[in-house]
Structure 1
Amino acid sequence: MSSFDSIGLMKSINDNLGPFRKSQSETMLGFGQMAKSAMAEGVVSAKNKELIALAIGVTQHCAGCIAFHVKALHRLGCTRAELEEAMGVCVYMGGGPALMLVAEALAAFDAMTPA
């Protein structure tokens, strides 16, 4: 059983950051532009960039990162097999703590997969 609701977590984060986006609009515009540029299709595909970002989120223990990057991976057509292979690298690099969050990433992927 997942310890967090990834879809609810994303909504909560977005709701809670709403006032911050307004008070710090220039910073948030800059952050958004940096994200758009960093994640754009290039020599490294956008899907592979999202897998990298998810791996960093897992190894840094960031539940919100996991939720948002899994959502992006769904949009980019990532398969569960691709996700699992990338998560294997997370376990290798991050050990037991990463393994616990791999469970969250897999649960988030499943929760966002249409029945």
Structure 2
Amino acid sequence: MDTINLPGFSRPILLNDILWLKGEATYTRIYYKDGSHAIVTKPLNYFSQHSTFIRVHRSIMVNSMYVHGLIQGKPRSLKLQLSTGTLLDVSRPYYQLLGDLFPSK
């Protein structure tokens, strides 16, 4: 199992436990499978070294193993649905990449 060492945590975190990430300046908010979240003092780009995470927005990365699919909203609007039902906005620069990787609903 792949893990990641994060400041403020005494042990490595399993990548499989992380659903998605939200960048907040030089911090990142981590959302876990169990519904909890934490903030770490690492920028969002720190997590791009792991191929598990895919950027879908300037400030959002998702764990690719929990992506359920894409949902076409209003014209020129795309949302990514996680297996938990969470919907996340996808910004236009990532439409093509995500459309190639995941099926549209």
So what's the TM-score if we normalise by structure 2? 0.30
Structure of greater Rg = 1
Structure with the larger strand share? 2
User: Which protein, 1 or 2, shows the higher relative CO under an 8 Å CA cutoff with sep ≥ 6?
Assistant: 1
So what's the TM-score if we normalise by structure 1? 0.28
Structure with the larger helix share? 1
